Structure 1
């Protein structure tokens, strides 16, 4: 059943009065942490509002759209009237080029911090302890999740603890002038928050629309991989792989085409009407029909017969034989809910197989056979029959294969840009579009050396904060 998130309204009315004692009182119509949250139930409502404030699936600023359109997974659609041309043309600038991610993530972080600040003034009853601790755990874990998003897109080098990272916002902030911390400092804060969350999360927290113990384990694996801690990545991936199963072909289809199967889902955003989270609207006119962004011909050509991912990702209305071909993105269809309101599966088990494969390939004593076995496991589930992958003989071979499998598995799920960014120096590959996918003046490539593999800090932030530093190249 869909859950309708309630957004808490937190407004502080500031005004000037002449009496000193009046300055020491909150006006009766003022809502701040001390007055907005007066019970554990209030905190739970605030938590739902904070989760709802995360831009994850829909809207033109979506990272799902960015990862597909900026890279090589899409091309200009037959019904394009100017939509998403900045992304197709790989335009990133300090004015608008970060897709609203900086403001969105820090706004959501501040919302979780407000809930935590409100919780500090509440003493739960004996029968409310689990609910109270769950709210705290959710806030700490989401705060870590959002800061890792910021590191992924804005840090100069996630593998270098001394590199310029982001500011870790762990208090309510309205007028601070923070300076960026190093990657290592931010990673320490993420680990601290995940440790707090793990210590507080009750055993009853099993709803996949919220943080669970498995959410924390998953995020630890992802953070460890991205920062080069391969043994930790493997250990956490092992825990989840032992507890979940990859979806078979029928389950995989139901997971996307009807939002009815969560066999391999570890965490998802439960989208509902009114959330502005219509994911398909990033590529198609969901009200009137028509495709302003289509699947790239290169990506379409990579899907093999028998692979359920071809059926799920290529809409039945597509016409590959047309000239030019019509390749409609079908991963988020109308039938999942009314008006294309699809859940966004932010954490799936298949990513843990890819995490483990990469970590085994990149650790000090590489295990290329284990890496190949994990790729074969994903392919076997998607083809519905045993698939084999030849053992890799080098890191380059392993990463090439892992990157290719991730492209098929997570196309249109906010992964492609991140993969290219993370692997570009190993493979010496930037973004390369096939000729049919860069018609109409669309650039065919983005070199490895481009600064656009890191987001710019918004100029508004630079102007407002004298301590903020811009990334190089902008």
Structure 2
């Protein structure tokens, strides 16, 4: 598998995390490069852009064991249960007890703006070399990266347009389009404005980006189409979900074949991957993305285990059962462990795998749902897309899947059901519940492999009612201290 060059020489970008005016940060060490010297060749733009991709692995966007985006959307919802034998990391997220001072919930806020700052540094300096087709593609990738990181921010730190009737007119986030350590941006007046900016960046990227780039660790036209289907789904523009999602499916129809599916999660195949953050097994790039779920300690010790209610939904005939879950003992007690991000084939290094940021299976589910909600619904096509996915999860050559025949509400619920199973442990569940304006309702089961144990969620840990202010995460207080123009979210 091809790997992106890890950028350490461009350490000037570490300054991007410091949003303050202290003049100490205006001086670069002699050993580091400034934009005036680094942006002199097309190849150097590529190096800096690869550094922007690498920033997705910074703590704790997709790195680290507390607050990583690889677990955040599941620990906040009903797919996981806290294992009290573990270190109980990020317990405040599981208990919905976070506040602006609780940095442990997630560092997504600073990490996403770190990614954005690297992308903006490239975009700010495009005029340093001739604007060739090569540079047009560089610009497109940088704009797509900027849009993706802003989307992750607005999904977490603002309401989702489909969440409630007042969501679109509620406060957005600060959409930052230039690198300036002294900038103190205000939040967009509405969520709709933020979504429009994300879409504008993705649309511009779509028009300029290469149909294919030289590695699946870089964005291309197909992956941008897939991201547009995601953003439009959250915006509630279902006709646009169909328009761009169908183009994505046409360009990349595989949802990940049944025979390949386990190996997708062991990094032995890229089948079904549209955008992947590469994570090589080198000393400088050994990012433990899976440690948020478990560690290899006398076997396997998990921070969180699969909620038994979800576990029972994975049938023996479902290839995802073995790809996602391992039943094993911890301190003589059997648990259902998440192994989706545990290790790659041929490696002895645990919790180090590539990050599957966007898969074609999600696009199929996005479009199927959109066909049920579009201005001109097409349930026949919705069912067809759902059955294509189910055939590769439940069917084999020896025992083919018998296509489902659901209609109406049953079909829409089947799409939701399959989304939960397919995208479990990929930072989707909480945001889907929020997007649909639903409540988080956890099961009565404990953490043991059979659902037993005395640690079943009760009381305040049982349900997060629809519309509760905690569906919108608090802006970190240290960000507000540095930038008084930021307004804290309601309830905090």
Provide TM-score, normalisation by structure 2: 0.85
Matching residue within 32, 35, 38 for 2:37: 35
* 2:293 is the counterpart of 1:283: yes
| Residues 268-417 of structure 1: pairs in structure 2 closer than 5 A | 268-273=276-281, 274-275=284-285, 277-286=287-296, 289-315=300-326, 317-318=327-328, 325-336=334-345, 337-340=347-350, 341-384=352-395, 385-394=400-409, 397-417=410-430
State the shift of 1:30 in Å: 6.8
Partner of 1:220: 228
Matched, 1:58 2:60: no
Paired position in structure 2 for 1:446: 464
2:446 to 436, 450, 460: 436
Residues 116-195 of structure 1: pairs in structure 2 closer than 5 A: 116-123=123-130, 129-159=132-162, 160-181=167-188, 182-195=190-203
Q: Is the 8 A contact 1:151 1:158 kept in 2?
A: no
**d(CA) in 1 for partners of 2:198 and 2:467?**
29
The aligned residue for residue 20 of structure 1 is none
8 A Cα contact 2:272 2:360, kept in partner: yes
Distance 1:114 1:272 in 2: 25
1:255 Cα deviation (Å)? 0.8
1:263 positional shift: 2.2
Aligned-residue CA RMSD (Å): 2.8
Gap change, CA 1:413 and 1:332, over 3 Å in 2 = same
Determine the C-alpha separation between the residues in 2 that align with 1:364 and 1:387.
Answer: 30
Q: Does 1:237 pair with 2:245? A: yes
Q: How much does 1:447 deviate?
A: 1.6
Secondary structure at the aligned position of 1:268 is classed as: strand
Other structure's SS at 2:356 match: strand
**Partner Cα distance (1:373, 1:268) in 2:** 27
Q: Which residue of 2 aligns with 1:471?
A: 489
Aligned length: 455
**What SS does the aligned partner of 1:448 have?**
coil
Distance of 2:28 and 2:314 partners within structure 1:
61
- The answer to whether the Cα contact below 8 Å between 1:280 and 1:286 also exists between their aligned partners in 2 is no
1:27, distance to aligned residue in structure 2 (A): 9.5
Distance 2:81 2:177 in 1: 40
Matches within 5 A, 1:84-99: 84-96=90-102, 99=106
1:324, CA displacement in angstroms?
Answer: 5.8
- When residues 391 and 270 of structure 1 are mapped into structure 2, their CA distance, relative to the original with a 3 A threshold, is same
Closer, same or farther: CA 26–310 of 1 in aligned 2, 3 Å: closer
Q: Secondary structure at the match of 2:358?
A: strand
Judged with a 3 Å threshold, the aligned counterparts in structure 2 of structure 1 residues 228 and 35 are, in CA distance, closer, same or farther, namely: same
